[in-house]
Amino acid sequence: MNLHPWNHDFAWEASPPPHRFLRDDQVAQFDDEGFVVVPDVFDADTLAAVIADTDRFEAEVDAFLAQQAEGRISIAEAGAITFSTHLVTRSPHLAAFARHPFFLGACADLIGPDANLYWDQAVYKKPEKPRRFPWHQDNGYAYVEPQQYLTCWVALTDATADNGCPQVARGLHRKGTLAHTYVDPLGWECLTDPDDVAVAEVGAGGVVVFSSLTPHLTGPNTTDGVRKAYILQYAPAGATVLRGDPKKDTEPASREPADNPDWQFPVLRAGEPVVA
């Protein structure tokens, strides 16, 4: 386990009180362990409306993958795992869901008063080709500064150890971004056998909230059903994405603002919701 070459002098910033949305013990767990499970956030009607959209978009992605060589592109594969990205650009309902009070409250408590949506994607893990997703940090896929941003992993179906719920390596978020190696066809990997692992099972409608720096994976889906999740990520306003080859470049070749107006729109300013 090594640090990312661009990770210089990182220091984890804890979330000071007062906390207006999450309980103090939930924030303390997030700061100490890098994650917290918040059950029963969304009711069945809310989930049904979200699933109606994500199912529709995912079906398009799965059909597209099935037409590709070997039925896959990069780590996405028909019948195994699909990623339906930037759904807020295609569904006004999901764009509104991204501004749900739960997400805004979590952002206010864990990011600060000014936050933007950074990324959204539905991830469906299929039973036909059971496959694990390797230990990685979200900041290992695209290096963002500030390195600390927020992932809200919404369980659209019950997420269990048997169907690929998140598993989290406790405490390692405090090191900042780790070096990652690409493992084909699984994806980027930053470690293989962490000492302290939490299995973050969560029922449908619950949310696993974790840092962009928290090493995590999802195991294979060994059940008969599809494990469905909708993932929304939020970053501090003014965040930038560093570009370049960290294996060759000791410093990034460029920095790009994470401000695409279509899917990186503001959700909080001065602690108040931004109206669409």
Average pLDDT of span 250-269: 95
Task: Report how far residue 202's alpha carbon sits from residue 156's, in angstroms, rounded to the nearest whole number.
Answer: 10
Percent of the chain topping pLDDT 70: 99
Residue 273, in any domain of the structure: no
Domain count, the chain: 1
Is residue 7 in some structural domain? no
State how far the Cα of 134 lies from the Cα of 124, in Å rounded to an integer. 16
Q: Is the dihedral of CA 210, 83, 203, 130 positive or negative?
A: negative
**185, pLDDT greater than 90:** no
Residue 270 belongs to a domain: no
**Domain enclosing residue 216, as ranges:** 24-259
Q: What is the amino acid identity at position 117?
A: L
Residue ranges of the alpha helices (H) in the chain?
24-33, 44-66, 92-97, 101-110
Reported as a single tens digit per residue, the pLDDT across 1-27 is 899 999 998 999 999 899 989 999 999
For residue 200, count other CB atoms closer than 10 A to its CB: 22
Q: What's the token pair of residue 127?
A: 């039973």
Residue 15 lies inside a defined structural domain of this protein:
no
86: left (phi over 0), alpha (psi -120 to 50) or beta: left
pLDDT tens digit string along 111-121?
999 999 999 99
Angle between helices 24-33 and 101-110 (to 10 degrees): 60
CATH number at residue 156: 2.60.120.620
Q: How far apart are alpha carbons 79 and 100 in whole angstroms?
A: 31
Report if residue 104 sits inside a domain.
yes
